Amino acid sequence: MRTAEIKRRFLAHFAANGHTVVPSAALPAIDDPNLLFINAGMVQFVPYFLGQRTPPYPRAVSVQKCIRTPDIDEVGKTSRHGTFFQMNGNFSFGDYFKEGAIPLAWELSTKPVSGGGFGLDGDRIWATVYLDDDEAIEIWHKTVGLPMERIVRRGKRDNYWSMGIPGPAGPCSELYYDRGPDYGPGGGPDVDEDRFLEFWNLVFMQYEIADVKSKEDFRVVRELPKKNIDTGMGLERIASILQGVDNLYEIDEVRPILALAAELTGREYGARSGHVAGESHPDDVRLRVIADHVRTALVLIGDGVTPSNEGRGYVLRRIMRRAVRSIRLLGWQEPALPLLLPVARDCMSPSYPELATDFDRISQYAYAEEDAFLSTLRAGTTILDTAISTARQQGSPTLSGDQAFALHDTYGFPIDLTLEIAAEQGLTVDSEGFRALMADQRARAKADARARKTGHADLSAYRVIVDRHGPTRWLAYDTLTTDSAVLALQDAAGVSVSVAEAGDIVTVFLDSTPFYAESGGQHADAGTLSGDSVEAEVLDVQRPVKGLVAHQVRIVAGALVISDRVRAGVDPQWRLGARQAHTGTHLVHAALRQVLGPTALQSGSFNRPGYLRLDFAWPTSLSATLRGDIEQITNSKIRDDLPVTAAYMPLAAARERGALALFGETYDEVVRVVQIDGPWSRELCGGTHVEHTAQVGPLAVTAQASVGAGVRRIEAVTGLEAFTYLARERDLVTQLAEQLRAPREELPGRVEALIGRAKSAERRAERLQRQLLHVQARQAAAGAVTVGPYAYASASAGPEVNPRQLAEFIRDALPFQPGIAAVAARTTRATQLVVAANPAAVAEGADAARLVNDVLGSHEGGNPALAQGGRPGAEPGNLLAALGVLLARTC
């Protein structure tokens, strides 16, 4: 049974039993500040379980895409670890409880395939329950008919669920399937969990806990007034059982990727020779990493994540680089993703058709990231080769942990490649030092994450306001002013207060508001709150929870008290500028797609009055011609004075009409579609817009740049800001034309000619400078003195001279006998000392680095042939004299 069919049957079973089918949330956990990615099937329902939101349905079913990365380094080492997985789940919000969840799970598991079930043999299913959960045992035994000898009691570590924080918790019951004696000894899950494979976990959320110290150390406060059900069946886990394969890497959605990687590299998956007993063969580990990470990258990019150096983008980048690195270690040196990613698409698109329809965009990001990483590997290899050469010259058999960490952290060069290449050159790597530096970095990252972390409890105060007063009456589309009542106040720490006085910055909650809260890339409105006894400036507007608008304000005069009536007023010029910029963003996006093609999709945007920026998928810089075309099309649409319309419709209907959604955003079932010129621009959007495109005013593209592999950013200004920008450009051109005494149309040629003459002058100056240096070098070499076995020559130089170049010239002008040259030059920051030794002097035992360090009394680096360092305030002559004395003493 294919994985897509398992998913379909799971959803159909619970839909037939009164559950609302809820689509998978996007992988980026946008609504949960604790998570980068959705990591469990119940995450999108957490607000319902915590009582922060009222569930719109009593029972639900979903197949949720999930990512777990804490054990990413373990992927491939066992057959169980994977970064991407899918969690089948059914949920009850105070509706049915154990008496409903257990029979529903048993029915689907054992119902014949012909009847829509999974057809598992009921005689091979075991259940575990919490120690004292006699209620669950009775249901399993008396209602379902499971023999008592196949019901196992377990403790808190295995069969008690919580979020690890104070809140809802409860016992759970897990279902195990006996895969037979080929997988291990009999006796049930307590004996062997390879043979007895867990495939479903039923969580009975019935208690509130507090004083949580660990998974097993907490205090049960009370029973929940509404008991909930949260279940999770790993889709990959049940697929491996139903498809009769050993593990998740051999199911239909993964094995073809692994098989192609094995074919490309000439490796045989499942080889067992030459490895430690009980451990996977290194080839198997790498093939599993490739298969898992390529699939994970596909779905992450499909859900709007793009490679970057922080947050979710960094996780994606790391996953992709591990895949590329693994296939290179297996011997494949060419780009691999153009071959592997289409296979992953074909495996996953039966479950997620959007991965096929959106593949052009996905592949652009993926292939660009691989190309960039291959360049990183080439650059890192060059740097590593230099480090190895230096270590050999210094007689060291080891590369330092600092060097390995710098390669990894600064250049993205993988440590295992550093170890491999160093070993080939007969060197070791200070792995202990590297691991210590990595541990320090992780500790700093975790400390920073904890410092920025906010929990679900932080939202409880907002939920209280919504429950007490109802949602904010939001009128931003309808008016710029409202007569509003103050419902609640919070100080900067989020503590409720009853009054705010002049100078205070507080958060204000109103019963109605005209202010646009920041969302969808649009900056929040600015404006004022005014009343009989208060004047306040609105600084920011946010939506901390669904239905509630929070206004951060500064009290300018008077005092604001709960229950006051105030006039909430949006700055009309601010709103006009914001509307111009947001509509301009849609126009630029549509123009981009017209010029570059449908794959140039927006991946992020920001707009505020008069300014917009838009990130989009594109692998190369835009030429001046392309930028001009985009700007011209946009302004043509503005000149045509097209109507800008907004309509509400079901999400499915919007998608059918071709409305574009912003990647990474979460949408309700009913969405707002903003349209300009029919299908030319049709997007899901909750922002404020002008009524006709001519109201945008002129639009000028001001900049474009790269913001990541395969991602470009275009910036533009609109309305009065665009006019001001173009006026400045006009004034600049006029000034240049006057200074060069040339017509405007001749300016490019005139400037190009000036640049050419300037470069020619620079080259002539450089030649003269080199000639002068050669003359000075020959003069210094002619005055060389004999010190021991060396011919020693020195010179002082001014700040306009390159001391290193002069020292090399002097060294080369010395006779062929062992020779040492030294130059001291005063610069703005310090006096530089450079020592250069020719090969004969190095062979004689001269060490330029040691000489510089001894004269300056510090460690400056360098090598035996050439070294330099500096000392602030030193006299050049004194440094040269000290060097001569030192050289004579060492000889």
* Sequence ranges of the binding site for Zn(2+): 582, 586, 685, 689
Alpha carbon distance 706, 365 (integer Å): 13
E strand residue ranges, 572-710: 602-608, 611-617, 644-650, 670-676, 681-684, 699-708
Cβ distance 200 to 132 under 8 Å? Answer: no
List phi, psi (to 5°) of 645: -115, 155
Q: Which residues of 726-764 are buried (b: 16+ CB within 10 A; e: fewer)?
A: eeeeeeeeeeebeeeeeeeeeeeeeeeeeeeeeeeeeee
Side-chain half-sphere of 306: how many Cα atoms within 13 Å? 24
Phi, psi of 582 (to 5 degrees): -70, -45
**CB 633 within 8 Å of CB 591:** yes
| Amino acid occupying residue 384 | L
Q: State the pairing for strand pair 167-178/125-130.
A: antiparallel
Side-chain-side CA neighbours of residue 689 (13 Å)? 26
Residue with tokens 């450089």: 766
DSSP structural state of residue 28: B
Q: How many whole angstroms separate alpha carbon 267 and alpha carbon 329?
A: 11
Is there a contact between 496 and 489 (Cβ–Cβ < 8 Å)? yes
Question: Which CA distances in Å does 246 have to 40, 194, 238, 260, 470?
Answer: 23, 10, 11, 19, 53
Decide: helix, strand or coil at residue 676. strand
274 vs 267: CA distance, rounded Å: 14
Distance CA 843, CA 507 (A): 75
Query: Which is it for the CA torsion 427, 438, 706, 356, positive or negative?
Result: positive
The identity of residue 719, as a single letter, is G
Cα distance between residue 591 and residue 604, in whole Å = 16
Cα→Cα distances 514→315, 517, 570, 826, Å: 39, 9, 7, 65
Provide DSSP, 30-88: TT-TT-SB--STTGGGHHHHTTSS--SSSEEEEEEEEE--TTGGGBTTBSS--SEEEEE
| C-beta pairs of 316-322 under 8 Å, 24+ apart in sequence | 317/369, 318/72, 319/69, 319/72, 319/83, 319/293, 320/293, 320/366, 320/369, 320/370, 320/373, 321/373, 321/412, 321/414, 322/72, 322/289, 322/293, 322/414
Contact 887, 835 (CB under 8 A): no
Q: Are 163 and 169 in contact (CB under 8 A)?
A: yes
Which single residue is written with the structure tokens 């009542």?
485
Q: How far apart are CA 462 and CA 446, in angstroms?
A: 27
DSSP summary character for residue 353: T
Q: Which of 586, 574, 578, 580 is nearest to 614 (CA)?
A: 586
d(CA 579, CA 584): 8
Tokens found for residue 858: 């510090």
Rounded Cα distance, 512 and 480, in Å: 12
Binding residues: 582, 586, 685, 689
